Amino acid sequence: MRIRIVDAFTDRPFAGNPAGVLLLDAFPDDDRLQRVALEVNHSETAFAHRLPPGGEADWALRWFTPATEVAMCGHATLATAHVLHSTGAHEGPVRFATRSGVLTATPREDGSVTLDFPTAPLTPVEAPAGVAGALGAEPLTVLDTGPNIRDLLVEVADEDTVRALAPDLKALASHSERGVIATAPAQDPSRGYDYVSRCFFPNVGIDEDPVTGSAHTALAPFWSERLGRPDLTGLQASSRSGLVRTELRGGRTLLSGRAVTVIEGELLA
C-alpha cells in the first residue's frame, strides 16, 4: 500500500498544508482508516479508490483527521488530485464521490488544480459569550458557516490581529462544532492577496490547520460581497502559510492552488 505526503496550496516543499494520500483497491473498515490517519498525524489523510466506469464519479474519497472522519476537506482533495495526475492514475478532470456530494478537481496548464466545492451558506449570528476571550480578539462580525464545514467565521479588526492570535483552544472548542475561522482584510493588497485567515479546529484534533480549502468556501462569499469581486486570493497566515485562489460562482466556489509531493513510501502494517 503506497502512501504519499503532499504539501497542498503551495508550490514548494515544507509549506502549505501537508496531507497523507493513499490510493486503495477498496476502503477497509473505518477503524483501520482512523488508525492510519492517526499514524500519519497530519491534519487530514485522504483515502481514495477507483469506481466502476459509467457512474457519476470516478473515485470514492474520504478524509480523516487524527481524531475523526470529516465531511469536507479542500487541501487533501487537492493533494489526492495531484497524486492521481502526477502518477498517471487519472487524466483530466476527476470526479470524487464524497460525503459532500460529487466534487470535481480539474488540472490547469499552469500546473495548478481547481476544485469545485459547494459554497458555504453564511448566517449572521450573535457572538457567543466568551468567544472574544477564547479567541483573544474582539469579533466585528460572526457567521455560522452551515453543515458542511460547521465553523464560526469571525471577522476581526485587521491583518495584524489575525497574525497575532494565540487562542485558548480548550475554551474555543465550546463555541462551534469544528472550530473557528478568523479573518480580516489584507493590510496591503499589492502583496498578492485580498484577505487573511487562520483556522483553529480543536474539536477534530487540529489546534491550527495550516491552509484550509474548505474554510475558503465560506471566506470566498464573505469577502466577495465585501470587496465587490468574485475572484480573490486568500492568504492563510499560519506558520507554514499558503495561498488559495477563490472564484465565487453562486452556489459553487472554485478553489485553486498547487501541490508538491514530498514523501513517498510503503505502508507496512
Active site amino acids: 44
CA angle 262, 265, 268 (to 5 degrees): 150
* Nearest CA-CA partner of 183 in 148, 230, 225, 130: 225
Measured CA to CA, the distance from residue 217 to residue 213 in angstroms comes to 7
Q: Quick one: the chain helix, strand, coil %, rounded to 5? A: 25, 40, 40
C-alpha–C-alpha distance, residues 142 and 175, integer Å: 11
Residue 72 C-alpha from the chain's centroid: 8
Measure the CA–CA gap between 220 and 213, rounded to whole angstroms. Answer: 11
Phi, psi torsion values for 204, nearest 5 degrees: -120, 20
Residue 223, H or E segment? helix 216-227
How many other β-carbons are positioned within 10 Å of the β-carbon of residue 36? 19
Please identify which residue in the block is written with the cell numbers 458555504: 120
Instruction: From 74, 16, 43, 14, select the one nearest 235 (Cα to Cα).
Output: 16
